[in-house]
Structure 1
Amino acid sequence: MTHVPAAPADIRVVLVDDQDLFREGVRVIVDAQEGMSVVGTAGDGVQAVRLVDELTPDVVLMDIRMPELDGVEATRQIFAPDRVARRAAAGASPVRVVVLTTFNLDDRAATAIRHGASGFLLKDTTPVQLRDAIRTVHAGNAVLAPGDLTALMAGSFVAPAPTPAAYLGLTDKEREVFAAVARGLSNTEVGALVFASESTVKTHVGAILRKLSLRDRVQIVVYAHEHGLVA
């Protein structure tokens, strides 16, 4: 486990992988990008959780399969309510996790996303795709297309939980927008479906996130599948 200082304006990245050669290669790629740097590396999930507690990075690149503690459980611990609350109380920016996997539409990746990850990347991704993914999640968006995310969630069955009271508190229009976002539609596509401008859709999405205490559109898709709210 290592950590190094970053420039104040950089996107601060923690890299977690049990293969030294892969970890070093990704570190070189990230450090070569303008506006981002690796501030810590870890070889297993236990070290990863400890580093996130110490460094509160902006983005964590998290391998799925590791000894000691795998990436799914490490992600769950990073987004445990008490840890999230401590980071918020300390004024830290939200931590975003991107799962690294060798398999497309990996069930483990789906579980990690349910625990709070912002998406996944295949390990054979290009340096440009890696750079763009880090910037994308840092901005609060998912690193895979909403339609792919919907397919990933649908392919990883979880028995639906009861419909929460918070969802029942949404307006009729917000429920329409919620259902469309959960299906993986873009704001433009949602607007055409519910007969609203793109800016109005963004306003509705913001209200949905606030009312349901969700972080981003990724979480809307997860929430919908967990509660059986998507066709």
Structure 2
Amino acid sequence: MLRIMLADDHPMFREGVRSVLDSAEGMTLVGEASNGDEVVRLALELQPDVVLMDIRMPGLNGIEATTRIKASNPAIHVLILTMFRDDASVITAMKAGARGYILKDSEREDIIRAIWAVASGEAIFSGDVAARMIDYATRPVSRLDAFSDLTYREKEVLGLVVEGCSNSDISKRLELSPKTVSNYLTNIYNKLQVADRAEAIAKVKEMEV
């Protein structure tokens, strides 16, 4: 019997997933969490086989929660179940240790199949997410890849800076808070050893020569 935990801050969605699990053979729901801190605590207490993890939650987000759970017990498998399909979310989730990434509008059978796949150690993605992963893996090398100290998200933020986006634009495009964007920029400037936006752009432009 697979022991499942569910982490999502929307009660109605948890209710829907609960009904899916109740009707599935060989699975039992052992706990629910409505925020990142709670799912980390409960996962380490209940030791489920699989955690169904949303990305955007109060407190710790799903990526941070996944990192902490995997660091404490690598045997707990994490399946991301979210509505976000952007490249950065998928890549960072995989780097955090998630074994699968499916969307909330997936069919009941696809969710159940994904749970079994992740529980057996396989990696699984929703169809359109898998297509995006293939596109990401096969796209030409970016000039930003020369900055190996930057994380994927930092490269994404820097790329938008080079395109001329303001902090507000970046916040909307990446669905990040203004403070988070500002923090990313501070990290980028420190890693590139530049003082401001203009110097960062100039440093990227140098890579084109």
TM over 0.5: yes
Measure how far apart 1:103 and its partner are: 2.7
Read off the aligned partner of 1:72 and give its amino acid letter: I
Give the equivalent residue in structure 2 for 1:79. 70
After the TM superposition, which of the residue ranges 63-72 and 140-149 deviates more from structure 2? 140-149
Alpha carbons of structure 1 residues 137 and 37: separation in structure 2 relative to 1, 3 Å:
same
Unaligned residue ranges in structure 2 (runs of 5+): 150-209
Corresponding position: 1:59 with 2:50: yes
Report matched runs for 1:126-141 at 5 Å.
Answer: 126-141=107-122
Distance in 2 (alpha carbons) for counterparts of 1:17 and 1:24: 10
Corresponding position: 1:26 with 2:7: no
Measure how far apart 1:104 and its partner are: 2.4
Give the equivalent residue in structure 1 for 2:6. 15
Distance in 2 (alpha carbons) for counterparts of 1:99 and 1:133: 10
Report matched runs for 1:177-216 at 5 Å.
Answer: none
Unaligned residue ranges in structure 1 (runs of 5+): 1-9, 88-93, 162-231
Read off the aligned partner of 1:17 and give its amino acid letter: D
Distance in 2 (alpha carbons) for counterparts of 1:116 and 1:153: 18
Distance in 1 (alpha carbons) for counterparts of 2:13 and 2:137: 28
Measure how far apart 1:101 and its partner are: 1.8
Taking structure 2 as the reference length, the TM-score comes to 0.61
Measure how far apart 1:31 and its partner are: 1.7
CA contact (8 A) 1:72 1:109 kept: no
Runs in 1 of length 4+ with deviation above 4 angstroms?
A: 145-148, 152-161
Give the equivalent residue in structure 1 for 2:89. 108
**How many residues matched?**
142
Give the equivalent residue in structure 2 for 1:119. 100
Read off the aligned partner of 1:18 and give its amino acid letter: D
Alpha carbons of structure 1 residues 95 and 150: separation in structure 2 relative to 1, 3 Å:
farther
Write out per-residue CA displacement over residues 139-179 of structure 1, whole angstroms, 9 at most, x where no aligned residue: 11011277654445678987547xxxxxxxxxxxxxxxxxx
Distance in 2 (alpha carbons) for counterparts of 1:42 and 1:116: 19
Alpha carbons of structure 1 residues 73 and 117: separation in structure 2 relative to 1, 3 Å:
same
Structure showing greater Rg: 2
Structure with greater contact order relative to length (CA < 8 Å, sep ≥ 6): 1
Read off the aligned partner of 2:82 and give its amino acid letter: T
Q: Secondary structure of 1:27's partner? A: helix
Distance in 1 (alpha carbons) for counterparts of 2:123 and 2:16: 24
Taking structure 1 as the reference length, the TM-score comes to 0.56
CA contact (8 A) 1:17 1:44 kept: yes
- RMSD, aligned CA: 2.4
Measure how far apart 1:108 and its partner are: 1.9
Q: Secondary structure of 1:18's partner? A: coil
